[in-house]
Amino acid sequence: MNSYTEENYLKALFNLANETGEVNVNELSKWLEIKMPTVTSMMKKLAEKKLVHYESYKPLRLTEKGKKEAGLVIRKHRLTEMFLVNKMNFGWEDVHDIAEQIEHIQSPVFFEKMDELLGYPKIDPHGSPIPDSNGKMIWKVYEKLSDCKVGETVKLLAVINTSSNFLKFLNSRELQLGLKIKIKSIEAFDKSMVVSYSKRQNESLSQLVTERLLVEKDK
Amino acid sequence: MNSYTEENYLKALFNLANETGEVNVNELSKWLEIKMPTVTSMMKKLAEKKLVHYESYKPLRLTEKGKKEAGLVIRKHRLTEMFLVNKMNFGWEDVHDIAEQIEHIQSPVFFEKMDELLGYPKIDPHGSPIPDSNGKMIWKVYEKLSDCKVGETVKLLAVINTSSNFLKFLNSRELQLGLKIKIKSIEAFDKSMVVSYSKRQNESLSQLVTERLLVEKDK
DNA sequence: ATATTTTGTTAGTCTAATCTAACATTATAT
DNA sequence: ATATAATGTTAGATTAGACTAACAAAATAT
Ligand SMILES: [Mn+2]
Ligand SMILES: [Mn+2]
Ligand SMILES: [Mn+2]
Ligand SMILES: [Mn+2]
């Protein structure tokens, strides 16, 4: 079994991995707010456990085993978030910190029950995919709203940033997943967009917002 | 804030306290399966935090503050058990170990939500009272089934032992809280009882069982 | 009353996970 | 090409929570 702490490192390694699966000690250190020497020594420990490929001064990489175990922690996190939103009436802006703790509960049946009660969901409340029970995650390829063109109508399917502040902002504009959004105009100067959706006909969204909204072209 | 470990010590002190509120180091040590020197040093730490009255070689006693904080941990434990049974379809024999972990989640709103969804329950799935949000627990005075007399009809309201094995035994006899039980006879030799309840007319229960069932005389 | 057993404390060690200070390597800028 | 900055490692210290061994006090038995 991996400790609470080890599980958090695995998750971070998985989430920070670039296209080639690499993570630098420094990034990981900053992300976890844990000093580099501590990270180095944990990486050696995870390497002992065959969860991480570690070589001095080289970027870090999860092993297949490491990826699987990380995937399973992320699965527990996302199932929990879904459960908190769908079964306990939490807002999507309030679930991350609780899930950050509950993901470490040691009880397979507890998460199986969540999964069952939720009807085996494939995505979490923020549109992120929930890894299957082997830790495998299937990433859908979405487009950023900021990359769409005037006149297009798209469906909002996920958010990139899941900070409470950003999600509260989306709440205040009644922006939620599943919504159809039409792009009415784009300001050349700052790339801000004027869009319409549901009852809102002239919402202006800054680029900071539009590049954090993941959409699919409406077919 | 108290640590995960401290919370478990507080809960144990509360549960092991005798009529005068005292607990011996040795008892606590055996209960927690932690060696006495470790317990002694933790007691000194909790005394520093004004949670325990500690004097060398004297029995341990929670302070008022300690009782309150212990009560709040027990509240979280019992709310969790109730949630697992009523909202997640777990059996009463399967919830203790999960609650033992979830009771340490740091998120007041998480437990408030449970409480709300459950409709502010006063007892847990085993009939134990749930302390209020100030940590205050109100003990109802129940009678042991083993202390009742032939001919009496009683209502099953709580179980003393909550081990999975005992609860599974009760399941196998369809014995559940709320049931009306009539005492048909008591065997003088071994104090075993023949009782009837629901569709069962001639169930024999050993004294080991009857002294673990808490009942109220039917009025 | 004294010996024995049980209970409790002290002192010192260990492991997991953190830190700082100092040093080493790699990357970047001039 | 070399100096400087950024990144990474090593060594050693710290804290929480556990342990064992040895000793001390209290309770119990003879
Ligand atoms: Mn999250
Ligand atoms: Mn976490
Ligand atoms: Mn319990
Ligand atoms: Mn616990």
The answer to whether some atom of strand D lies closer than 7 Å to the beta carbon of A172 is no
pLDDT greater than 90 at residue B175: yes
pLDDT greater than 80 at residue B92: yes
Per-residue pLDDT, A130 = 98
Q: Tell me which residue range forms the domain holding A81.
A: 71-139
Residues A150 and A102 grouped into a single domain: no
Coil, strand or helix at B10: helix
Residues A207 and A157 grouped into a single domain: yes
pTM: 0.95
Rounded distance between C-alpha atoms, residue B75 and residue B99, angstroms:
11
Mean pLDDT of A178-188: 96
Q: The tokens 């199986």 sit on which residue?
A: A112
Cβ–Cβ < 8 Å for B179, B155: yes
Whether residues B114 and A87 touch (CB distance < 8 A) is answered with no
Band of residue B79 on the pLDDT scale cut at 50, 70, 90: very high
Q: pLDDT tens digits, residue range A22-66?
A: 999 999 999 999 999 999 999 999 999 999 999 999 999 999 999
CA of A26 to C1' of C30 (A): 26
| Nearest ligand to the C-alpha atom of residue A3 | 2
Residues B114 and B166 grouped into a single domain: no
Distance from the Cα of A34 to chain B's closest Cα (Å) equals 20
Q: pLDDT tens digits, residue range B31-41?
A: 999 999 999 99
Closest CA to B210 of B200, B173, B219, A179: B173
- Which nucleotides of chain C does any protein CB come within 7 A of? 6-12, 16-22, 25-26
Find residues 143-182 of chain A whose CB sits inside 8 Å of chain B: none
Band of residue B218 on the pLDDT scale cut at 50, 70, 90: confident
pLDDT greater than 90 at residue B219: no
Length of chain A: 219
- Contact list in A for residue B98 (CB cut-off 8 A) is 105, 107, 110
Q: Output the CA A94–ligand 3 centroid distance in Å.
A: 28
What value does the mean pLDDT of chain B take? 97
Q: Output the CA B106–ligand 4 centroid distance in Å.
A: 13
- Contact list in B for residue A89 (CB cut-off 8 A) is 113, 117
Residues B105 and B78 grouped into a single domain: yes
- Which one-letter amino acid corresponds to residue B43? M
CA of A42 to C1' of D23 (A): 40
Per-residue pLDDT, A71 = 98
Those residues whose C-beta lies under 8 Å from the C-beta of residue B74, and which sit 6 or more positions away, are: B11, B14, B15, B130, B131, B135, B137
Query: B65-89 in b/e burial notation, b at 16+ Cβ within 10 A?
Result: ebbbbbbbbbbbbbbbbbbbbeebe
R_g of chain B computed on alpha carbons = 19
Domain boundary among B118, B139, B160: B139
- Which nucleotides of chain D does any protein CB come within 7 A of? 6-12, 16-22, 25-26
Rounded distance between C-alpha atoms, residue A75 and residue A83, angstroms:
12
What does the block give as tokens for A26?
């420094």
Residues B164 and B207 grouped into a single domain: yes
Closest CA to A51 of A33, A66, A30, A39: A66
Q: How many domains does chain A have?
A: 3
Residues B152 and B206 grouped into a single domain: yes
CATH code, A181: 2.30.30.90
Provide DSSP, A14-74.
HHH--TTSEE-HHHHHHHHT--HHHHHHHHHHHHHTTSEE--TTSPEEE-HHHHHHHHHHH
Mean pLDDT of B67-83: 98
Domain boundary among A139, A164, A181: A139
Rounded distance between C-alpha atoms, residue B190 and residue B188, angstroms:
6
Per-residue pLDDT, A149 = 95
Per-residue pLDDT, A218 = 76
Residues A122 and A134 grouped into a single domain: yes
Rounded distance between C-alpha atoms, residue B111 and residue B76, angstroms:
7
> CB distance from A1 to chain B under 8 Å?
no
Domain boundary among A139, A154, A185: A139
| Nearest ligand to the C-alpha atom of residue A77 | 1
Rounded distance between C-alpha atoms, residue B183 and residue B204, angstroms:
10
| Residue A147 DSSP code | G
Per-residue pLDDT, A200 = 96
CA of A37 to C1' of D2 (A): 29
The answer to whether some atom of strand D lies closer than 7 Å to the beta carbon of A61 is no
Residues A131 and A79 grouped into a single domain: yes
Q: Are strands A22-23 and A60-62 parallel, antiparallel or unpaired?
A: antiparallel
The answer to whether some atom of strand D lies closer than 7 Å to the beta carbon of A34 is no
| Option in A90, A101, A113 nearest B113 (CB) | A90
Residues A187 and A135 grouped into a single domain: no
Per-residue pLDDT, A170 = 98
Rounded distance between C-alpha atoms, residue B182 and residue B195, angstroms:
5
| Nearest ligand to the C-alpha atom of residue A161 | 1
What does the block give as tokens for B113?
């939500």
Closest CA to B167 of B155, B175, B156, B179: B175
Per-residue pLDDT, B41 = 98
Q: How many helices (H) and strands (E) does chain B have?
A: 8, 9
Mean pLDDT of A91-107: 98
Rounded distance between C-alpha atoms, residue A198 and residue B16, angstroms:
59
Rounded distance between C-alpha atoms, residue B23 and residue B42, angstroms:
14
Cβ–Cβ < 8 Å for B145, B214: yes
Which residue from B minimizes the CA distance to A110?
B98
Per-residue pLDDT, A15 = 97
The answer to whether some atom of strand D lies closer than 7 Å to the beta carbon of A18 is no
Residues B79 and B110 grouped into a single domain: yes
Q: CA B211: distance to chain centroid?
A: 15
- Which one-letter amino acid corresponds to residue B63? T
pLDDT greater than 90 at residue A174: yes
CATH code, B121: 1.10.10.10
Rounded distance between C-alpha atoms, residue B218 and residue B76, angstroms:
31
Q: CA A43: distance to chain centroid?
A: 23
The answer to whether some atom of strand C lies closer than 7 Å to the beta carbon of B16 is no
Residues A148 and A213 grouped into a single domain: yes
What does the block give as tokens for B191?
């104090």
Closest CA to C18 C1' — which residue? A38
pLDDT greater than 80 at residue A219: no
E strand or H helix at B193: strand B193-197
Residues B57 and B85 grouped into a single domain: no
Mean pLDDT of B7-24: 97
